[in-house]
Amino acid sequence: MRSCGGFSFIEVMIVVVILAILATLLIPRVMGRTEDAKRAAAKAQISNIDSALQLYKLDNGNIPTTEQGLKALVERPASGPAAPNWKAGGYLPKVPVDPWGGPYKYTTPSTQGGEFEIISFGADGVPGGEGKNADIVSWDLDRN
C-alpha cells in the first residue's frame, strides 16, 4: 500500500518535462515582443515630444532651434531665439532618451518639409537600418 506523503519522482519529472516544453514554445514568442514594445514606446515618446514642442510654440511663438535642442523643453534656453513665455517647470520633466538608451535627434526644419523632426535610430543607434534597427521618425510614425 502506498503512503499519501507526496509526489513520486516520476510525477515530478513529468511536471518538469511539461514545463520545459511549454517554456520552449512560449519564450521565443515573448522575447520577440520585447522589441515590438520598445518600438511602440519610442513612437509614444516621439508623439509626447511633438506635443511638448507644439505647446512651446503656442507659448513662445517659435520652436526651439536645432542648437537649443530638446533641452529647451526642460530648461529655459540660454541663447536665442528668446522664449519670453517659457512655462515654469518646463514642457517635459527631463530630456528623454529612446527605449534603447540613445538620444533622440531633433532637427529643425525637417528634412521632409515640416517644422521639425524627431528621430530614434532604433536598436543599433545608427542612421538607417531595417527591422529592429530601422529608424523611427516623427513624420512617419505609421510606417515604422
Q: 3-state class of 52 per DSSP? A: helix
Report the predicted TM-score, pTM, of the whole model to 2 decimal places. 0.76
Structural domains in the chain, sorted by start: 36-140 (3.30.700.10)
**Lowest mean per-residue pLDDT among 2-11, 103-112, 134-143:** 2-11
d(C-alpha 41, C-alpha 45), whole Å: 6
Average pLDDT value for residue range 39-51: 93
Specify the pLDDT at position 56: 95
69-113 pLDDT, tens per residue?
999 999 999 888 889 999 999 999 999 999 999 999 999 988 888
pLDDT at 32: 63
Ranked by mean pLDDT, which of 14-18, 61-65, 136-140 comes out on top? 61-65
Left (φ > 0), alpha (ψ -120 to 50) or beta: where does 79 sit? beta
Write down the mean pLDDT value for the chain: 87
pLDDT for 79 equals 85
The greatest distance separating any two alpha carbons of the chain, rounded to the nearest whole angstrom, comes to 90
Residue with cell 531595417: 130
Q: pLDDT exceeding 90 applies to what percent of the chain?
A: 51
